[in-house]
Structure 1
Amino acid sequence: MIEQSTENLAFTATCPKGLEGLLAEELRELGAADIREQPAAVYFSGPLVLAYRCCLWSRLANRIMLRLQQVRIGDAEDLYRAVAAQPWEQHISPSGKLWLQFSGTNREIRNSQFGAQKAKDAIVDRLRRQSGARPVVDKQSPDLTVALRLHRDKLDIAIDLSGDSLHRRGYRTHIGAAPLKENLAAALLLRAGWPKIAEAGGALLDPMCGSGTILIEGAMMAADIAPGLLRESFGFERWLNHQSDIWNQIREEALERRRRGLERELPEIRGYDADAKVLFAAEANIARAGLERQVRVSCRPVAALKVPSHREIKPGLVLTNPPYGERLGEQEALRETYAELGRQLKSEFGGWLAGIFTGNPELGYETGLRSHKQYQLYNGSIPSQLLLFHILEQSADKAAEEGARKLSAEAEMVANRLRKNLRTVGKWAQKNGIDCYRLYDADLPEYAAAIDLYRSVDGQLFAHVQEYRAPASIDESKARGRLRDLVRAVQQVLEIPQRSVSIKERRRHSHKGGQKGGSQYQKQAQLQKQTGAAAFWVSEYGAELEIDLWTYLDTGLFLDHRPVRRYLREQARGKKFLNLFCYTASATVQAALGGCVQSTSVDMSKTYQAWSARNFRRNNMDPYQHQLVEADCLQWLTSAQQNRRAHYDLIFLDPPSFSNSAKMRGVLDIQRDHATLIRQCMALLAPGGTLVFSNNLRSFQMDESVKTEFSVENLPLLDKDFQRNPKIHNVWKVQSK
């Protein structure tokens, strides 16, 4: 029996796919420890009181389950013995009501119904042997729900503490034609930053509110109302280990918080819909939630959408889940609806944040708005996106128009090219959830620069402009003028301030003796001090990585290597990974998130090793499992061979084309030295391992002796944003023959 509420127990919270990160943060705020994300689930630990609190307060979870044991099984008899070994008499009365949920199969247990039957027999037989009585199977009102999940040879045995799915709050008895689940609506509000907006007094509007789910969830957040307060029951209430005194105390605290929350003046929360019938459902749901005074709905088409005028309204959030159509004809008809929504937002809601959740992101473009942030989510089984938009103030719109008129004809030409690229590469990046990408790469030869966009995790947009070396025949002042045109076009098209644009400017300079030499990028440390610019974090496939656009030549993330990092992540599960010339170790972060069991990242730069350590901490990487080594890679490889260090399953070798650093014993010339480097790496590979070798020397040719000695395959790892420049890097897969 569980006698003390402080005993540390293991739990699983399940959730819709795509909400794992949000749920992990919510559980952390509720007091959970040992948090670990899994697809559609989060593992955590804590006392029983934590499980009660999660059942009552989680806005995102579907279920909270108490994990009893994970065991290895092969066949049906193993399953029977593993389940029968659990002390079920501590959890359910022999004459109680039992329900089992079984998911998964393996090579021997190929049917989940068969697995459920075998597990039920094991529980019933154990209880009958001990007491002479047996529980009955009851799906509708069980005293205990046992959840079993089989994956290959591992069986997770758990007790479902939640009962009915936690997304069913109890207020929604009436639903519209395409209902949005309550926990998904809560996730949209959290992603859009509604709690902070509400705290500042900003309003919440839903112009296509349907049955009112977004509005109700928003009001419950603003009023500090526990989402589980209206539920009739939870799964733990008839469990033998239920501690009713603790549960009653938690529930009373929640009731008191609700009372205080509703006494406060809440921000304006309003919903509209063109369908009067569906608003009856919304009103009924709002009443059942006890929020009639806080949430109001009325019949109004999108074309009539305006800021409520009956009281002073602070700019806030417009969030909606419009229809997106499953058939082509429906989609065509909806284009005007989305376009009208965009027109009203631009004309009436300057200074507001808008969010559109849709299963058809292409329709989102019909608004004529450019989203500053996109989140990939699932509405049931439908891949969907939450698109967030900052709506400019009218004065800002006018300023942008004036800025456009002031652009020179040449700058306007650049601006048009940037707009065109946003419609192609930008849409591609948005569709694929890519926040950092190359927008422009000397598309117009006279404007020779690369422009990269970086979207921070908090939604800010930055542009990184790197000027290419101008021919000696181009006048210096003319080159400067073209760069100014380019930068002004970037600011005007992207609608970002000067402080959000980093410029790496090449300038010819004179050496001693007055001879003109090469060129260099001018440092921007002074500009950084003046503008307050600083490093920030971006997201790439779930990894968060530090970016600095101002202090160094490079930003901390080689964007052309994005598909290389994705490839390494896909190959890394269960493997030992070595990253040589690791730079800021972004490839190691991806490998770790891909499931590598151990990693070593080598670079001789103190700066980059410190940067890598920050990336590791940000992504909760264990420093004992993922080692950073400050060393010359050439010396480290020689030493590793001599000392016969442990072999690696996956190695990433990405050296510079040329290096004569003072910290190195010799000079590295990748064309000359690559065969030696590859052989040294291959000597460290475990049987069946893979070396991924990359370099950015455009004239690079692989040594024929390497091709003879090993299996060598050129990997075409280049995303859409770098296809104008296919020679930007070479990537090779090398394996033993």
Structure 2
Amino acid sequence: MTSQLFFASAPKHMGSLLAEELIRLGMRDATETRGGARFSGSIEDGYRACLWSRIANRILLPLGQFPASSPDDLYTAAADIAWEEHLTPEHRFAIQFDGDLPGITNPHFAVLRVKDALADRFTRRCGQRPSVDADDPDLRIHVYAHQDNVSISLDLSGESLHLRGYRDSGSAAPLKENLAAALLLRAGWAEIAAQGGALLDPMCGSGTLIIEGALIAADIAPGLLREQFGFHGWLQHDETLWQRLLAEAHIRRAAGLQRLGALRGYDQNPNAIRTSLHHLERAGLAGLAHFERRELADCFPGREEDEGLVMVNPPYGERLGSEDELPELYARLGAVLKERFIGWRAAVFTGSPDLGKHMGLRAIKRHTLYNGPIECKLLHFQVEPRYFVSHQPRPLPAQERSAGAEMLANRITKNLKTLRKWQRESQIECLRIYDADLPEYALAVDVYAGDGERWVQVQEYAAPATVDPKKARHRLREALGLMPEVLDIPSERVFFKVRQPQKGTNQYERLAETRRFHEVAEGGHRFLVNFEDYLDTGLFLDHRDVRGLIGRLAAGKRFLNLFGYTGTATVYAARGGASASTTVDLSNTYLDWAQNNLLLNDIDLDAHELVQADCLRWLDSHVGRRSYDLIFLDPPSFSTSKRMFGTLDIQRDHVTLIRSVLRLLEPNGVLIFSNNLRRFRIDVDALAELEVEDISAASLPRDFARNPRIHHCWTIRQRPQSTFLS
């Protein structure tokens, strides 16, 4: 067969990958060049590239290269091509022009000059000319001009090769198919799949990465679903040769499907999962990959013994998600990988590589690729402890500490001595022992204990901009270094977090995925706490006395706990003799935690209901059902959770919220209303028909006396003769 020169175009920074792919396809002289790769071979090689290239956009067959420095030169070059060997007057054609040529400022003018040359040649030789059809041509012609040279080619591809045929026409997606394939190949998926490895995408969107991964793993030609290529309208097309290549591809597909490994895609959006399953079916792979709606927090390997590649294209600012949420998302992704995917490889494609630093993993390699116009990085990770990066500050040894550290140690020792008698008499196990007593050390230090075990949580208040970050970091490291010594506790039981102002449910967002719980004691009750996965531990120590009040009021009462969190107030109510209770929270995670707290205290779940629901929606659905004698309402200060019925601003909405809750309260019942918005002001005038008693000071435990604004609390009762609820 006659050898010809071909050009394969590819997106920016994918030329070398394309050349490697063409060599694997048998085009041994393939080399990277501007905009893609060149290779020589027979028409069969050109067809094979169209059918099998996962990277290329187009396969072009050059008809000639000419010097050209003006539009007239372009016309002359195009007129010299024997177009009658490639199409007939009955054909429809389209022309695409790329590049730059002196005298041409509008690409449309270049297209017209080539069209005129082709039409004039046919008119002179055949007496008639082909027609132009930009939307559905029989043959596409590509013209490229660069540095006073013009290349005119037949486009053997037709539509861009990234259009495999399994996506719905016009459907948008973050990744084109050939970019997804490039990411997988750069990440080593072909080799991992050949060894029986698994592929998992925890944010699968429309399923492109998983489907392209299946095509690679099963040795399926990416062009096998396409019905039309550019060469089908070419006069020299060899249909017998093409059918032979298709038959070979079908045989390879059938064999490859027999060895396809585990492929799993998760996404929190049910619409994304539906789209993924639809695309999987259109790709002819129904049932061969698993798609499921899951939150990132619930992402696990399919089987315990699975190993392979986690491939993910998370939001990165240019895409979904607000900028302030993204560091948290990447930190959660890193935590999931480090907790559950030890031994796996991972690859993260992001337009904001700095976000990758929040993952707590050191990238072993990175590649630059473009997602449309956005320059992105593909970060490669080996999920092994030696590559884990800790963001925890390194405690300073005693010899490196300043005199200020000694002052801090003395203050903590003094606080412990002051609180010791009260702690012993009140049987307090978990308490706050320091709360920014010294301005230079803006920390809160809490001790948790149970069954003879003790743990310490250190929280650093976010420093104002006027504080030198280096000095603040040094003081923090001093504090962390002295905690084990002052408190006589192993260093691995000292946990650290940064306490920043939180909005709504952000305080409940995961920071890690250890799922390590510890049992602590409070007032004769037992609770599970977690020091690593969340900003808060699951037990708000400042509400200790509020829980005690609930326990004392609960005997024989029906209790409602709204925004119930981990159910600690419900435990007090149940142990205090409540006849029944209902705990409502939006999070299944926290309701599971609440259930475990109830079981830990030997509480019968039949009488104590746990309800997963948006509290605002739940209240609307229970209007007028006066069925509770005691209600605890401790809402977030502000929430815009996508799963909520509406937004909640506690300062703006508290009157409406309180009135809604009181519709469920028996006439002689008590509502305990609390929140931790420091500047909160209750609108007593708007609630004038109610008995509103401020018990904030009385409900503040002694160990929180340094900070009287840590929470606000009221008891609210209906006055006799009150009619506003009728």
Q: Could you state the TM-score of these two structures normalised by the residue count of structure 1?
A: 0.52
1:324 and 2:319 aligned: no
1:17 and 2:17 aligned: no
Give distance in 2, aligned partners of 1:175 and 1:331.
28
The change in CA–CA distance for 1:223 and 1:108 in structure 2 (over 3 A counts) is same
Taking the TM superposition and a 5 Å limit, the aligned residue runs for 1:683-698 are: none
**Contact (CA 8 Å) 1:201, 1:314: kept in 2 or not?**
no
**Contact (CA 8 Å) 1:273, 1:301: kept in 2 or not?**
yes
2:153 to 153, 158, 162: 158
Query: Match for residue 388 of structure 1?
Result: 380
Give distance in 2, aligned partners of 1:42 and 1:164.
19
1:287 to 277, 281, 288: 281
Give distance in 2, aligned partners of 1:200 and 1:350.
18
**Contact (CA 8 Å) 2:94, 2:141: kept in 1 or not?**
yes
Residues 304-357 of structure 1 show CA distances to partners (whole Å, capped at 9, x for unaligned) of 111223xx5431000010111139981211111111101010001100101100
Instruction: Give 3-state SS (helix, strand or coil) of 1:293's partner.
Output: coil
The change in CA–CA distance for 1:14 and 1:240 in structure 2 (over 3 A counts) is same
Residue 298 of structure 1 aligns to which amino acid in structure 2? E
**Contact (CA 8 Å) 2:345, 2:382: kept in 1 or not?**
yes
Residues 540-563 of structure 1 show CA distances to partners (whole Å, capped at 9, x for unaligned) of xxxxxxxxxxxxxxxxxxxxxxxx
Residue 269 of structure 1 aligns to which amino acid in structure 2? L
Residue 54 of structure 2 aligns to which amino acid in structure 1? R
**Contact (CA 8 Å) 1:95, 1:135: kept in 2 or not?**
yes
Among the aligned pairs, what percent are the same residue?
48
Query: Match for residue 79 of structure 1?
Result: 74
189-198 or 136-145: bigger deviation? 136-145
Give distance in 2, aligned partners of 1:348 and 1:410.
38
Residues 549-585 of structure 1 show CA distances to partners (whole Å, capped at 9, x for unaligned) of xxxxxxxxxxxxxxxxxxxxxxxxxxxxxxxxxxxxx
1:51 to 46, 68, 71: 46
2:298 to 285, 304, 321: 304
**Contact (CA 8 Å) 1:375, 1:386: kept in 2 or not?**
yes
1:377 and 2:369 aligned: yes
Residue 260 of structure 1 aligns to which amino acid in structure 2? A
Instruction: Give 3-state SS (helix, strand or coil) of 2:273's partner.
Output: helix
Where does structure 2 lack aligned partners over 5 or more consecutive residues? 401-726
Taking the TM superposition and a 5 Å limit, the aligned residue runs for 1:395-544 are: none
Give distance in 1, aligned partners of 2:31 and 2:189.
26
Give distance in 1, aligned partners of 2:71 and 2:283.
46
> Shift of residue 109 of structure 1?
2.2
Instruction: Give 3-state SS (helix, strand or coil) of 2:311's partner.
Output: strand
Query: Match for residue 239 of structure 1?
Result: 234
Give distance in 1, aligned partners of 2:172 and 2:76.
47
Give distance in 2, aligned partners of 1:85 and 1:8.
22
> Shift of residue 369 of structure 1?
1.1
> Shift of residue 408 of structure 1?
10
**Contact (CA 8 Å) 2:362, 2:387: kept in 1 or not?**
no
> Shift of residue 218 of structure 1?
0.5
The change in CA–CA distance for 1:60 and 1:407 in structure 2 (over 3 A counts) is farther
Residue 277 of structure 2 aligns to which amino acid in structure 1? E
Give distance in 2, aligned partners of 1:43 and 1:234.
20
Instruction: Give 3-state SS (helix, strand or coil) of 2:279's partner.
Output: helix
Residue 66 of structure 2 aligns to which amino acid in structure 1? V
Give distance in 2, aligned partners of 1:329 and 1:252.
45
> Shift of residue 120 of structure 1?
0.2
The change in CA–CA distance for 1:339 and 1:174 in structure 2 (over 3 A counts) is farther
> Shift of residue 177 of structure 1?
5.8
Give distance in 1, aligned partners of 2:105 and 2:374.
27
Where does structure 1 lack aligned partners over 5 or more consecutive residues? 1-5, 412-737
> Shift of residue 33 of structure 1?
4.1
Aligned residues: 399
Residues 507-534 of structure 1 show CA distances to partners (whole Å, capped at 9, x for unaligned) of xxxxxxxxxxxxxxxxxxxxxxxxxxxx
2:128 to 133, 136, 160: 133
1:334 and 2:294 aligned: no
User: What RMSD in Å do the two structures reach over aligned CA positions?
Assistant: 2.5
Structure exhibiting the larger radius of gyration computed from Cα positions? 2
The change in CA–CA distance for 1:176 and 1:299 in structure 2 (over 3 A counts) is farther
Give distance in 2, aligned partners of 1:365 and 1:244.
53
**Contact (CA 8 Å) 1:225, 1:257: kept in 2 or not?**
yes
Query: Match for residue 341 of structure 2?
Result: 349
Residue 48 of structure 1 aligns to which amino acid in structure 2? I
1:97 and 2:92 aligned: yes
> Shift of residue 397 of structure 1?
8.6
Residue 376 of structure 2 aligns to which amino acid in structure 1? S
**Contact (CA 8 Å) 1:22, 1:187: kept in 2 or not?**
yes
Residues 659-683 of structure 1 show CA distances to partners (whole Å, capped at 9, x for unaligned) of xxxxxxxxxxxxxxxxxxxxxxxxx
The change in CA–CA distance for 1:350 and 1:176 in structure 2 (over 3 A counts) is farther
**Contact (CA 8 Å) 1:202, 1:313: kept in 2 or not?**
no
The change in CA–CA distance for 1:51 and 1:353 in structure 2 (over 3 A counts) is same
Give distance in 1, aligned partners of 2:319 and 2:233.
47
Instruction: Give 3-state SS (helix, strand or coil) of 1:34's partner.
Output: coil
Query: Match for residue 489 of structure 2?
Result: none
Give distance in 1, aligned partners of 2:169 and 2:293.
17
> Shift of residue 405 of structure 1?
11
Give distance in 2, aligned partners of 1:397 and 1:15.
33
Residues 183-242 of structure 1 show CA distances to partners (whole Å, capped at 9, x for unaligned) of 110111111111111111111000000000000011111111000000121000110010
**Contact (CA 8 Å) 2:201, 2:311: kept in 1 or not?**
yes
The change in CA–CA distance for 1:213 and 1:328 in structure 2 (over 3 A counts) is closer
Give distance in 1, aligned partners of 2:29 and 2:301.
45
1:366 and 2:358 aligned: yes
